[in-house]
Each structure stands twice: as structure tokens, then as C-alpha cells.
Amino acid sequence: MLRRFERITLTDVFMWLVGGAILTLVIVGSYLTLRQGTYSARHWFDFIVFGLAQGSVYALIALGYTLVYGILRMINFAHSEVFMGGAYLGYFVIVAFNKSGFLDANPLISILVIFIVAILTSVAIAVLLERIAYRPLRRAPRLVPLITAIGASFFLQETFRTLFGSASKGYPDVTALQGTWTLSGAFIIQKIQVLVIISAALMMFLLYLFVMRTKTGKAMRAVSEDKDVAALMGIDVDAIIVRTFVIGGALAGAAGILYSLMFRQINAYMGFIPGIKAFTAAVLGGIGNVPGAMLGGLFLGIFESVGPILFLDGLGVAAPYQLKDVIAFTMLVLVLIFRPTGILGERIARTKA
């Protein structure tokens, strides 16, 4: 017991005091907001559903971060531009379908084609990144591929801005996704939110089955544990790494379409904020942990949607929703103070000699 106290530093004490102060404000603010009764059950339902939809997109992007980290032990900061690239190419397809009338006449086929185009685009960008930017640096110190990833992110942003302009582009309305459904007479949910939540949940479920039940998934887990031993066991490490980028790119492309259909605006820099939020979600869940990335994304989305109103409105803060980014990253700080390895913990590779 004495040894445990001896290990505690002034920094630890300070961080715990900061975490305790933030937690106290959260509890007090939540109590005051709920006591006021300004928001009905319907309002809280709307906040939660929007948070689920937003968090589902974060989770899909976060899976790309966590898969690559699990295999290569590097953060692919260019993954946010993989997400952006799928949304951009999907935009040109949906605009063409809308002008021809095919979008309204065949909405299901149109959306499927848009998803396929976006996924193929994002996969192509992800594979090119792996082949050109990351593979030559696989044995380099970890800082080198990290800096390369940041440079690749800027390169892709400026490439898309040069090719397609810096102005924001708006996704056209999809008539089939407009409107709402009423649940139990009082609760309303938008059709696009249903599409986002169900689509993301299905993709996350299929990914989990793929990683846990297939031979490729087992090979991915083996490479994550130790590349050299996996190679000695007959696993093609390069092929597994490429497949990991393919899967992450496919999820990012699908997330790009879901995000664009929900928020309707895209530009060359649109991947930055969702990418940072998704990375935050991956850290929250435990970077390198697939279920953790899913849980972290959903948790962050709900927290970001509900938190500003719940925590700040009762404290008299004006326009609390404008502070949603502050709330999201404050929550990250809290989690890292009280559980540094994330919600589900980090999968740590065995130390190599």
C-alpha cells in the first residue's frame, strides 16, 4: 500500500483534482438542467437519436484508425481524407442521378450505386496511401510514418481543393429519405437518421464477424500480435496489411456518404473535424480494439449531442450547443484521467527484443 502512495506524483494529484472538478461541474449542471424541466422527454429523445446517428459515423471512421493501429502501430491521420474522398466522388454520382431523374425514380438503386462508388474511391485512396506512403517506411521509427501521414493528409486536401474548388457543395435532396416516422405517438425520428443508424450497425456487426470468425480475420489478429511470428507461420503479412487498409477505406467511404446525406455539405476540408472526432472515439474505446472503437464512436456521438444542453444549460451558459466540441474533448480528458487505456482497454503488442 505504501509503495502505491510513493508512486503518486504531483502531476497525478493535479490531474485527479482537475478531473474531479470537471466531474463535479457535470453533476451539478446536469442536476440543475433536469430540475428546471425546460426540456421534455421528446427533446431528450431527439438529442439521443441524433447522437446515435452522428456517433455511428464516428464509429465507422474510428474503425479505420483502430484497424491500422492494431496492425502497424501507427496513426493514419490521412484516414480523414479517405473519408472525404468517398464523399466527393459520391457527390458527382448523386448529382448526375438527380439531374436525370433517376434518383427519385429509383432511390434504392441510386443509393446503392452511390455507396459502391464512394467505397471503391476510398478503398483506392487507402491502398495507394499504404503502397506509396507507408510501406517504404514500415521499418522506420514510428515518428517518420506519423509525419508522413500528416503530410499525406495535407496533400490530399489540397489535391481535392485544386481539382474541385474550395467552395462547399451541397448534396441534393433524396425524396425517399425526407420526412419522419412517429413512434408511440410522441417521439419522432427522421428517416435519414434511421438509414444512418441501421446501415452503420449492420456494417459494424459484419466487420466484427469478419475479424472474429474468418481466416483473414484470424490472420489480421495474428499480424497484430507479432508480424515476424505471423510470417513464420505462413501468413502473407503484406497482403493482410493491404486488406486492412481496404476494409478501413470501405468503412470510411460508406461513412462519407452517410455523413453527406445527413449534413448535406461537403468540401475539401470536411474530413478534418469528423476525423479528429473519430480518432478521439478510437482513443476513448481503447485504440487498437475493434469493439472499443464502435463503443467509443457511439458514446462520443451521444455525449456530444446530449452533453452541451445537459451539462451547461442549467449553469446559465448562453448557446451551450456551440460548445459541443469543448464538451467532447473534455470528456476525452476525463476518460484518460480515470482510465488511460480507454473504455475497453488497449491491445498492447508484445515487446520485441
Give tens-digit pLDDT for 139-155. Answer: 888 889 889 999 999 99
DSSP for 255-295 reads: HHHHHHHHH-EE-TTTTHHHHHHHHHHHHHH-TT-HHHHHH
Mean pLDDT of 199-212: 93
Contact call for residues 242 and 29 (beta carbons, < 8 A): no
Nearest to 250 by CA among 100, 91, 111, 63: 63
Position 92 pLDDT exceeds 90: yes
Contact call for residues 121 and 49 (beta carbons, < 8 A): no
DSSP for 214-266 reads: SHHHHHHHHHHH-HHHHHHTT--HHHHHHHHHHHHHHHHHHHHHHHHHHH-EE
How far apart, in Å, are the Cα atoms of 155 and each of 129, 162, 181?
11, 10, 42
Contact call for residues 118 and 90 (beta carbons, < 8 A): yes
Contact call for residues 345 and 283 (beta carbons, < 8 A): no
Percentage of the chain lying above the pLDDT 90 cut: 54
pLDDT of residue 347: 45
Where do we find the cell 481496404?
246
User: Which residues, 6+ apart, have CB-to-CB distance to 279 below 8 Å?
Assistant: 62, 65, 75, 77
Position 3 pLDDT exceeds 70: no
Fill in the amino acid letter for 246: V
Average pLDDT, the chain: 88
CATH topology of domain 41-306: ABC transporter involved in vitamin B12 uptake, BtuC (1.10.3470)
pLDDT of residue 182: 84
Position 36 pLDDT exceeds 60: yes
Would you state the cell numbers that stand for residue 61, as one nine-digit string?
471512421
Position 161 pLDDT exceeds 90: yes
pLDDT of residue 95: 94
pLDDT of residue 206: 94
Would you state the cell numbers that stand for residue 222, as one nine-digit string?
495474428
Query: What are the sequence ranges of the domains in the chain?
Result: 41-306
